[in-house]
Amino acid sequence: MSPQLPPVAPAVTAELVAALSPRLRKRLDSGIAKLADRPVVRDGAVVRIAVDDDTDLELHAADGAVRGADAVRCGCLLAPDCLHRAAAASLAPVAEDTDSAAPQDHSAAEEDAAQVPETATPQQRAAVRAVQLATSAVLEAGTDGAGAVLQAELLRAAHTARLAGLHRAAATAVSVVTALRAARAGDPAYHLTDLAAGLYDVLSVAHRLPSASGGELTALRGSARQPYRPDGSLRLYGLFSEPVLTASGYAGAVTWTADAEGRLYQVSDVAPGGAGRAVGAADRTVRIGDTALTHRELARAGLAVSGATVSPTGRLGAGAGVRAVRAPGVGWHEEPVARLWAEPVPDQIARALAGGRDLLFLDVTLTGTAAEAAGDCLLADCSGVPLRLTAAHDDPALPHRDNLRLLSAARGTRLRVVARLTPAPHPRAQLLAAEHPTRADTRLDIGLDRLQGADLPTTATAPSGSVPMPVPASASASASASASDEAPIHLLRRRVHQTVSGGRPVLALPGDTRADARHLRRSGLATAAELLTDLHSAAADRAHDVFGRLRPTDPDRFARAWLAAAHYTSELDRTLCLAAWTP
């Protein structure tokens, strides 16, 4: 396998694309496709791409990422004004932007900060408007039309937003570009729902920030880095490890632990890399204190930490003053970690939907498997609630899918599991860890440990290939009843997702949407019907001038209509999700 290209800073990609002539911009996407098939070699901090038999293109990444346009060098006759440099930057993963933020004009807020809550500065309003315009252009074009030029415009806007201190908008805009690239490249890790969520978050921040103040403004701005605060001494108990594999080119592992009060802490090892690093990171030594534990070992043991520093999300720091030694662990049925499973499931769901931790600690009984478009999922009963457990990653180097397929044969087996909530109108979560189906007091990290047929109960038969196992009648009946009772919000959600894929043209096609609107109204979703009608109206709104020519589209109106529809479906999904998890 060829070495992966080093990440390139957003500002570098934007600068190289902006420097292209209009003629070369039209050829950029085809240039990227050609460059993707060329051989790549790594020589220390330099990565070389063979443009042809006589010409090489180099990316210099002294600190692991390309930080300047002059670090992308091409040996062709047209360099530095060639297409190859912009194509290479657009092909590479997007690096985290580390330039120092520009000074901000806070004078208006500082004049009377005691009486008037702080508001966005003119610089921030201008920056978020640029993000809004670039995101609206991407939404209007859809994934098929949002090529490298539109992506570069969004990266430029993201860089400007970060310099203005709008870290949340900048980070989410970069994630949108990463998802767009994955979609256009046919990456199996791409999920339409993730891209839709990213677009929604960017447009939502851009819509709210200009009029926000106080705490809301602080949340919308976000922070550049998570501050670590001292937390004294900690006694931690390992819970499980999970691989990390992102579309932006980062990989590794995260090990989750808990203290005696049930608070969760994470120890992570994530760096640029692919699936191989995600698999191998579990056997790397934990980088905290003087401990010699690997992530895989820590997941089953414990840790005593002094001088601990912790981020707001529970990530443990590894500063020079931190000391850590191995300590005994406990089983999932033993205190103090057993209290995580004692919390009522509806309370866990409510906390996750309110923005808290999204890990669920569940006791389930396996009931079979069901075929879905994204692959088979594991069916389970969770205190009377029919639950669908899915794979956290689809990469074949990770054992998620294989483990779910084998577990589907262990029907009737009761297991204690850890899963990550997937908000949906029906109970759904990604399976991360589970008890072993036949070995007491043994845990499985679903993304790292591989089950074998011999690990199944003696009465089970390991499924072969990818043929879905039949679903028990009770589980099938529950799933069917749930589907038939589901509110038809999918009629609006489908249009929201179609916009992300095909852009405005898909919704502007001639067709009668009144039937869907009537169905929504009959189901008591009159607001959804109005939003659906308005979305189609905004897509088809193309006025003519006095000469009969079509006027330019209004991306702002279309983006606002889409944002309203996406917000409504998101909030309704949260409500339906909480209701679905209640027996």
Copy the structure tokens of residue 278: 């995600």
Report pLDDT for 472. 40
Looking at the whole model, is its pTM more than 0.85?
no
Query: For the chain, what is the largest distance between any 2 Cα atoms, rounded to a whole number of angstroms?
Result: 81
**Confidence tier at 375 by pLDDT (50, 70, 90):** confident
**Confidence tier at 186 by pLDDT (50, 70, 90):** confident
Report pLDDT for 344. 94
Report pLDDT for 481. 38
Cα–Cα distance between 407 and 376 in angstroms, integer? 12
Report pLDDT for 545. 63
Report pLDDT for 453. 86
Residue 2 reports pLDDT greater than 90 = no
Residue 56 reports pLDDT greater than 90 = yes
Residue 347 reports pLDDT greater than 70 = yes
Residues with Cβ within 8 Å of 262's Cβ and at least 6 positions away in sequence, in order, are 336, 337, 339, 340
**Confidence tier at 181 by pLDDT (50, 70, 90):** very high
Give percent of the chain with pLDDT exceeding 70. Answer: 88
Among 156-160, 189-193, 331-335, 397-401, where is mean pLDDT lowest? 189-193
Report pLDDT for 356. 84
Cα separation values, 435 from 444, 465, 527, Å? 6, 24, 45
Q: Coil, strand, or helix at residue 291?
A: coil
Residue 476 reports pLDDT greater than 70 = no
Look at residues 339, 186, 187 and name the one whose alpha carbon lies nearest to residue 261: 339
Kindly report, residue by residue over 24-42, the tens digit of the pLDDT. 999 999 999 999 989 999 9
Asked whether the CA dihedral 101, 107, 112, 118 is positive or negative, the reply is: negative
| Residues 92 and 7: beta-carbon distance below 8 Å | yes
Cα–Cα distance between 346 and 583 in angstroms, integer? 9
Q: Where would I find the H helices in 372-487?
A: 400-407, 473-485
Burial 532-547 (b: 16+ CB within 10 A, else e): bbbbbebbeeeeeeee
Copy the structure tokens of residue 328: 């005994």
DSSP state of 523: T
Residue 550 reports pLDDT greater than 70 = no
Report pLDDT for 16. 96
Kindly report, residue by residue over 89-120, the tens digit of the pLDDT. 999 999 877 654 433 444 333 334 333 588 99
Give percent of the chain with pLDDT exceeding 90. Answer: 60
Asked whether the CA dihedral 407, 412, 417, 419 is positive or negative, the reply is: positive
Report pLDDT for 544. 63
Q: Where would I find the H helices in 447-554?
A: 473-485, 490-502, 504-508, 514-522, 526-540
CB atoms within 10 A of CB 22: 6
